[in-house]
Amino acid sequence: MMQRLLNSRSFRKYWKHKPAVVSSIIIAGYVIVSLAIVFGDLVTIENCEQRVAPKELPGFGLLPVVSEELNAQEEYVNEIDRLLQKQRKNPDTEEKCRYMGLEVVDRPPEQLEKEIEEYFAVADQLYQIDDIDDIVAEGGSEAQDILSKLTKAREIQRGFYTAESQDALARKLQLSLGTDRQGRSIFLRAVYSIKVAITVGFVTGILAVGIGTILGLIAGYSGGWADALVTWLYSTFASIPNIVLLMVLAWVFQGGEVDKWLNDLTNNYFEKLIGGALEETLIPVIIAFSATYWIGPCRIIRGETLKLRESEYVQAARVMGFSRFRVLFRHILPNLSHLMLINFSLLFIGAIKSEVILSFLGLGVQRGASWGKMIDASKSDVANGMFWQIGAATAFMFGLVLAFNILSDALQDILDPKHV
Amino acid sequence: MWAYVTRRILYNVPVFLGIVLFVMLALRVRDPVNSHLGKVKSEQEIKQLRKEMGLDRPFHIQYFSFLGDVCTLNFDDECWDHPGRSVGEVMGESIGPSLALTLPALVLTTLISVSISLVSAWFRGRWMDKALVITAVLGMSVSFLVYIVVGQYMGTTWLKEHTGFAPFAVSFGGYDGEPTAMEMLLEVWPHYYLLPVLISVIVAMGYDTRFYRAVMVEESARDYITTARAKGASRVKVLFVHMLKNAMIPIITRVVITIPFLITGSFLLESYFGIPGMGRELLTAVNHGDFPVVQAFTAVFALVYILSNLLTDVLYAVFDPRVRLS
């Protein structure tokens, strides 16, 4: 079987199409990451909702300017101060002193207090300088002075946290793309969104192509009232603009009434099954997409089935007395599989892009991260020149969508050369 | 010809009935009155509103009465979200801004992409063509949202910082008094609409260019092109006279198919730039549970969609006689 596939003409053509092979590898990478998130807890929802560092740290290897670094330092130091006061009020608590994934050093409170004072003695001098960033940018002796003070402040601040409290590489990765306004790691959020995108794309693709193929086969093969019914059904769904249909379906799931109804009906088994409220899962989004996207494959499969039904080999199979079911699934379906594959890859892209747009409009993913939510959150960042959040979401999404675009083009060229 | 057109109209009637049925059913899956007022109003008032909206009648009565409303374009139910205004008024006011945004965008996109696809077809297989195709694919792989967010930043903040020139508004605001038509065209429109239109053109260009290029490539392989070339017609003449004329059918079809989206406007652009068009109205209505608006707007979108489908069919029949006979 495998041997036959590898020797087939299509596979050899595919193998020669280098961009398509490279795109497949990239897609495989994304899928592996999303599998690792689903089954291996590579990044959990809590990870991407958690504060990991001061807010709005720049990413992409950019260093924060002096004023930004001062703000970040102050946040760390203030947190130590807060923890100390808490301990003073309530000396018995054995609360583990952790802050944003870092562990506070084990030192007597008096010494810590002294160090905090020492820190502010240095830092306050820096706070008093107006337009500190411009002075540093210009250089000169004043800038030298500021930088040496900054280094000193940085050393004191770093001393508050034990260095080996967290795997250094993991921390570096977390901060590599910066943080958002709530101090959450953009890297973790972008990686978690891979799972959302792949899940939505994959499930939608399979469901939509599945529904479309079955209905298309039945309509095309049996004709008569079944054909009329299916044609009416897809014309109806196709006559509502996609985005309007998605919005109407989003409306249906809003407010949790459907959720309540389903739970009452199934004695709360439903909630256990999906692990939470319906609104918080991806199910409404997936249902909306599947209900919208089955039309394309259905139309194409129906048309092809109509053609194949009249072909000689199908006529022969019918004359030989094979059952309807056997002719459909054993003889016709294999000759449509290339169309299913092409449509699947097209739908995958469509679903990922629409998910981003729906999340942006506030109708899509409700819990966790998604690229759409990240872009939505970065609207005001961009105006302030902070592009790392939108940049990260775009870059992650660009890789996946481009790879799929190239792959689906290649599949079309290889499997369905007559198509325009 | 007329037999064909009648057939198409008859074919679309059940489709329209189906859409209205589906939309009405979908909007009644959860109780619209309850989810809009459930927390703030008493049982009595909810009953009252349900009666006013006619939601207490049997479904088939509601269906036929709403169908009648849609066919006569009679939408005088009051909006839940804007007290004192009818759905029809809201619709009438929002259709203008939607068209002001999408109509110029459609015209520009079509002109530019057809020209680019001609260039691409002229240089077919050479580096110019390849570069254009690659650019189109790259452009298609970036989310629409990114174009909007970055486009707004570049067109407003960035442009102002770097050139001191601020022609575009960040988002839609009102205008003083009643501007004349000339002022509307020369001041208000460029200020509020030109930037979204440009963004929309850039986004749509990737998709359209690829489509039109495929059309041109298919057309250029036909026999009549070979014949024309063999008879000594120059490449320019073949490209612009013979080919473009025959490529008109798919171009017109695509343009007509886009008409419903002119009415829906560009949801994202409208909501991001705060343009008070139909897309934005529908989005707010969905978010606020404004049931009469959602129901009426979706039905009208579907009606427009079907009418433009009909128009496509008729135009097809006019331009291509073969269609009529099938």
Q: Is residue A286 part of a domain?
A: yes
Q: Same domain, yes or no, for A84 and A200? A: no
Q: Same domain, yes or no, for A262 and A375? A: yes
Both tokens of B47, joined, read: 């009953």
| pLDDT at position B174 | 67
Q: What's the DSSP call for residue A64?
A: P
Query: Which positions in chain B touch A376 (Cβ < 8 Å)?
Result: 145
Q: A398 and chain B: CB distance < 8 Å anywhere?
A: yes
| pLDDT at position A298 | 93
| pLDDT at position B324 | 65
Q: A233 and chain B: CB distance < 8 Å anywhere?
A: yes
Q: Same domain, yes or no, for A328 and A357? A: yes
Both tokens of B285, joined, read: 């209505």
More confident residue, B243 or A163: B243
Which of A128, A146, A175 terminates a domain? The answer is A175
* Total number of domains in chain B: 1
Q: Same domain, yes or no, for A110 and A221? A: no
Q: Is residue A397 part of a domain?
A: yes
What is the phi/psi pair of residue A14, to 5°? -60, -45
Query: Which positions in chain A touch B149 (Cβ < 8 Å)?
Result: 375, 378-379, 382, 390
- Give pLDDT < 50 ranges for chain A: none
Tell me, what CATH number does B162's domain have? 1.10.3720
CB contact under 8 A, A361 and B283: yes
More confident residue, B312 or A347: A347
Q: What's the rounded Cα separation, in Å, for the pair A101 and A50?
A: 9
Q: Is residue A83 part of a domain?
A: yes
Q: Same domain, yes or no, for A85 and A216? A: no
| pLDDT at position A297 | 92
Best of A225, A237, A244 to disrupt the B interface by mutation (most B CBs within 10 Å)? A244
CB contact under 8 A, A243 and B264: yes
Give the chain B residue whose CA is nearest to the CA of A242. Answer: B261
pLDDT exceeds 90 at position B3: no
3-state secondary structure chain B: CHHHHHHHHHHHHHHHHHHHHHHHHHHCCCCHHHHHHCCCCCHHHHHHHHHHHCCCCCHHHHHHHHHHHHHCCCCCCECCCCCCCEHHHHHHHHHHHHHHHHHHHHHHHHHHHHHHHHHHHHCCCCHHHHHHHHHHHHHHCCCHHHHHHHHHHHHHHHHHHHHCCCCCCCCCCCCCCCCCHHHHHHHHHHHHCHHHHHHHHHHHHHHHHHHHHHHHHHHHCCHHHHHHHHCCCCHHHHHHHHHHHHHHHHHHHHHHHCHHHHHHCCHHHHHHHCCCCHHHHHHHHHHHCCHHHHHHHHHHHHHHHHHHHHHHHHHHHHHCHHHHHC
More confident residue, B160 or A275: B160
- Proportion of chain B above pLDDT 90, given as a percent: 5
Q: What's the DSSP call for residue A63?
A: P
CB contact under 8 A, A360 and B283: no
Best of A232, A235, A279 to disrupt the B interface by mutation (most B CBs within 10 Å)? A235
Tell me, what CATH number does A382's domain have? 1.10.3720.10
Q: Is residue A59 part of a domain?
A: no
Would you tell me the crossing angle of helices A257-265 and A242-253 to the nearest 10 degrees? Answer: 60
More confident residue, B86 or A278: B86
CB B286 within 8 A of CB A251: yes
Q: Same domain, yes or no, for A161 and A193? A: no
Q: A237 and chain B: CB distance < 8 Å anywhere?
A: yes
| pLDDT at position A148 | 77
pLDDT exceeds 70 at position B92: yes
Q: Is residue B16 part of a domain?
A: no
Domain span holding position A221: 2-43+187-415
| pLDDT at position A30 | 94
| pLDDT at position A402 | 93
Give the chain B residue whose CA is nearest to the CA of A417. Answer: B218
Q: Is residue B215 part of a domain?
A: yes
Q: Is residue B24 part of a domain?
A: no
Q: Is residue B10 part of a domain?
A: no
Q: Same domain, yes or no, for A372 and A240? A: yes
Give the chain A residue whose CA is nearest to the CA of B148. Answer: A379
Q: Same domain, yes or no, for A274 and A226? A: yes
CB contact under 8 A, B16 and A252: no
Q: Is residue B35 part of a domain?
A: no
Q: Is residue B156 part of a domain?
A: yes
Q: Is residue A49 part of a domain?
A: no
User: Distance from B182 to chain A by nearest Cα, in Å?
Assistant: 32
Q: Is residue B25 part of a domain?
A: no
Which of A153, A175, A197 terminates a domain? The answer is A175
| pLDDT at position B326 | 56
Beta bridge partners of A51: A184
Give the chain B residue whose CA is nearest to the CA of A349. Answer: B141
Q: Same domain, yes or no, for A214 and A288? A: yes
Domain span holding position B113: 99-276
Q: Same domain, yes or no, for A171 and A276? A: no
User: Distance from B85 to chain A by nearest Cα, in Å?
Assistant: 22
Q: Same domain, yes or no, for A225 and A348? A: yes
CB B41 within 8 A of CB B47: no
pLDDT exceeds 80 at position B173: no
3-state secondary structure B7-66: HHHHHHHHHHHHHHHHHHHHHCCCCHHHHHHCCCCCHHHHHHHHHHHCCCCCHHHHHHHH
Q: What's the rounded Cα separation, in Å, for the pair B240 and B244?
A: 5
* Total number of domains in chain A: 2
Beta bridge partners of A179: A185
CB contact under 8 A, A239 and B141: no
Which of A175, A199, A224 terminates a domain? The answer is A175
The predicted model gives B112-141 an average pLDDT of 88
Both tokens of B324, joined, read: 């009529």
Q: Is residue B13 part of a domain?
A: no
Q: What is the pLDDT of residues B255-309, one digit of tens each?
A: 887 777 676 667 888 888 888 888 888 888 887 878 888 888 888 888 888 888 8
Q: Is residue A32 part of a domain?
A: yes
CB contact under 8 A, B146 and A375: yes
Q: Is residue A360 part of a domain?
A: yes
Q: Same domain, yes or no, for A157 and A215? A: no
CB contact under 8 A, A398 and B141: yes
CB contact under 8 A, A405 and B142: no
| pLDDT at position B176 | 62
CB B141 within 8 A of CB A401: yes
